[in-house]
Structure 1
Amino acid sequence: MTIEAHLATLEKKHGALEQELHAAMNQPSIEDEMISDIKRRKLRIRDEIERLRSSTH
């Protein structure tokens, strides 16, 4: 897999997590721990995207 393809995959995952987070925050029955987990996963993906982008420049 090329770096560009990997970046595209990570960006899709990040977008999906953003939608999942938005949906979870609109449900009063969702526990804070679940929301925190989604945020952590988003952050890890964002960090990986930034690392890949900086390594290609």
Structure 2
Amino acid sequence: MSLQDRLDSLKAKHADLESAIEVETRRPYPDTTVIGDLKRKKLRIKDELERIVPH
């Protein structure tokens, strides 16, 4: 897997998690535990992206 493939994969996962967070927050009774877990996963991916391509 090339570096670009890895970046693309991480960006796709990050976007998927963002969508999942949005869906959960729009539910009538959002589960804050699920939202927290999704946000932590999203943050780990963001951190990994930053390690690969520092800004």
Counterpart position of 1:23: 23
How far apart are residue 31 of structure 1 and its match?
A: 1.6
TM-score (norm 1): 0.88
> In structure 2, what is the equivalent of residue 52 of structure 1?
52
Q: Which consecutive unaligned segments of at least 5 residues does structure 2 have?
A: none
How many aligned residue pairs are there?
A: 54
Q: 1:8-54 deviations in whole A, cap 9, x for unaligned?
A: 00000000000000000001333211100000000000000110113
When the two chains are superposed, the root-mean-square deviation of aligned CA atoms in Å is: 0.9
Structure 1 residue runs of 4 or more that deviate by more than 4 Å after TM superposition: none
* TM-score between the two structures when normalised by the length of structure 2: 0.91
Identity %, equivalent residues: 37
Is there any run of 5+ residues in structure 1 with no aligned partner, and where?
none
Alpha-carbon distance in structure 2 between the residues aligned to 1:23 and 1:48: 24
Question: What is the distance in 1 between the residues matched to 2:3 and 2:43?
Answer: 19
